[in-house]
Amino acid sequence: MQNYSNKVYKEEQKYLDEFKPVSDNHSKKKQVTQRMKVKEYDIIEKEKAIARAPSQYKFDSSTTQILETLITLRHAGEFHNIVGKGLNSVVIHAHCHRNYHLYFPEGNAVKVYKLTNGVEKNNAIYRRVEREYEHLEILQTQYFSNNTPHPVYRNKNVIVMSFIGYDQETAPSISTLPPEKLNEAYEKIVKEIDAWYNKLGLIHGSLSATKIVGNKYFIGWSHSVRKDHPMAFRKLMKDCQFVSEFFKSRGVLVKSPEELFKFITGREKINSKVLEVVQKDLWKTSQTSNHSNPNRKSTSHTKTTQNRFKR
């Protein structure tokens, strides 16, 4: 793809040099503009031809059309392998078009939710994608976060964000950290959760070892909520429980989940319903974390994941 992109780039530059306006004649400029548009269309069509056909992923026609649009809009230059899977979603690594390669050198993660025959369920999926995109935008524009995926594009059941990893491989999870770096990581995570809540009014709501990768990146924001959400405190307590239990099991001196919750919220008392987020919930999260991480590589055979999306 790299060689192909360089070749197309050289051809495009040669074309542009050939048809630079030599006068201010309006008709001449109009003619050049029209021919440039034709050339641009041809380039896009060639990129579509070399990119892996989205239809092979067994998506419905509406989703396939959206994926093809990503190439037209230059949000993707080539689709690669499935790098993550969920109960109702898959994530495809996509090569960035050369116009954006400088900003996202590792490419993009294209997360696709499977649609159903139910209008209400599909609308819920659309709202989830919209919410995740909105919260990532808040993190980027208000918090200037370098530790979360950059939102690129969304359309119905598809969301595109910058890929966290190298060479089409997802970044390693926090579980791989050496012992000498655990204390620093704990302090950093607590600081981030506090900033999300008190500066942005956001709660991740689904933190796990696989949602913290590369020692500093926080991914998997599909379950995030605002602090005024009815389930906000329960989700925050769930995050606090994960952080406390994870680092305590590795010998780090930590605050208890209740202490961490009070530290972040500034509350002296905790509602009993919030405390109902018990270890059982954490166990359930750890068992399903492989299915909810939008940047984690699937350990199952790709064909199995693709067949689950066959109509």
Q: What is the mean pLDDT of residues 31-50?
A: 55
Q: What does the pLDDT read at residue 306?
A: 38
- The string of pLDDT tens digits covering residues 144-166 is 888 999 998 999 999 999 898 88
Classify residue 167 by burial, with Cβ atoms within 10 Å: 0-12, 13-18, 19+: exposed
Q: What does the pLDDT read at residue 284?
A: 44
Sign of CA dihedral 295, 298, 304, 308: negative
Residue 232 has pLDDT above 60, yes or no: yes
Written as six digits, the tokens of 70 are: 């990503």
pTM of the model: 0.70
- The string of pLDDT tens digits covering residues 108-119 is 889 999 888 889
Q: Give 238's DSSP letter.
A: H
Element (H, E) at 56: none
Confidence of residue 97 (pLDDT cuts 50, 70, 90): low
Residue 241 has pLDDT above 60, yes or no: yes
Name the residue among 37, 43, 33 with its Cα closest to residue 12: 43
Radius of gyration of the chain (CA): 23
Residue 300 has pLDDT above 50, yes or no: no
